Structure 1
Amino acid sequence: MSTYRLNPSGIGVIRDDGVCIPSDPENQDWCAYKGWLAAGGVLTSPTVDEVVQRFLPRLQEWLDGVARQKRYDSALSCISYEGCGEEEWEHDAAVMKAYRTRLWRWGYAQQTTLNTMSPSELAAITVEDVIAQAPKAVDSGWIVPEAGANPTA
C-alpha cells in the first residue's frame, strides 16, 4: 500500500513513488489517498530540504532586493566588487557577503524547529513569515542612503 506525505508547497500530497497528487475530488489518485486516510493512514512531513527548497528562490530574490537598495543588480553583483579598490564598493561587498552568510546560517539553524512541526504547520509557513523572522541587513552593517541622497557622494 502507498504512503503519502504533505507536499511542501502546501497543495496536494506526494505519494511514496514521487507522484504529486492535486486535491481534486475527481482525481482517482486523490480518492485513493482519501481512502488511505480513512483507513488510518498518517501523513508524513515534507523533509526539511523540501521546505527549504520552497523558499530558496524567494529568499534569493529578497536578498537581491536588499542589494538593489544601493543600486546593485543583485547580491552577487554587489559581492563581486570585493577587492576592486573602491572603498565604498569594497565595504558594501564585505557587508553583503557577511549578511548573506548570516542569513543562510540562520536559515539552516531553523532545521531543529522545522523538524518538530506537523505537516500542516510546515505547509502553512510563508516566505513572508520567514523574512519577518530572518536577520536584518542593517544588523550586519548594511546602510541605505536616505531618499534623494547621492549614493556615490
Structure 2
Amino acid sequence: MRGPSSIDIAGVHDGAGHAFKQTATETAAWAPGRYWWTLRAASADSDVIELETGELLIAPDMVAADTFDGRSEAETALAAIDAVLGKRATIDQERYRINNRELYRMSVSDLTKLRAHFVALVARERRKAAGQSGWGRTIPVRFS
C-alpha cells in the first residue's frame, strides 16, 4: 500500500489461497490517511502479475488521538467558505495594495456559487452514508 507511508504485507499460503494478516500492534503504527493498494502474485522465477488494485482509508485511532476531526474534505471546505462569508460581511474591499503587495479577495457571488457546490457535495455524501442514493430521490417511472 502507498499513501502517507509505505506498507508492504506478504501473503501466507492458507489452504487453497493466501491470507494477509497483521496484528493490532503492527497496524497501530500505520499512518492514517488515504492509501492505494495493489495485490500482486510472484512466481518462483520472478514473474509478477498484478491481480487487483484499489483504494482504502485508514482512519485514525480515536481512542489514542488527543483531537479528532471526522469531517470529510467537502465538509471542511464548506465550513471554511462559511467562515469567509461570515467575515466578509464586515469587510467591504475586494482588493487592496500595501507597499507593492496586492491582495485580491474572491467576490461574494463567486463564494456563494462555490458554497452551493460544496453544499451539494456534502448532501450527497450524507445521503450515501445513510444508505440512500447518491443522486437524490428515486422516482419510479413506468413506460407502457
TM bucket, shorter chain: under 0.3
Q: Which has the higher contact order (CA 8 A, sep 6+)?
A: 1
Q: Which of the pair is proportionally richer in strand?
A: 2
TM-score, length-scaled by structure 2: 0.26
TM-score, length-scaled by structure 1: 0.25
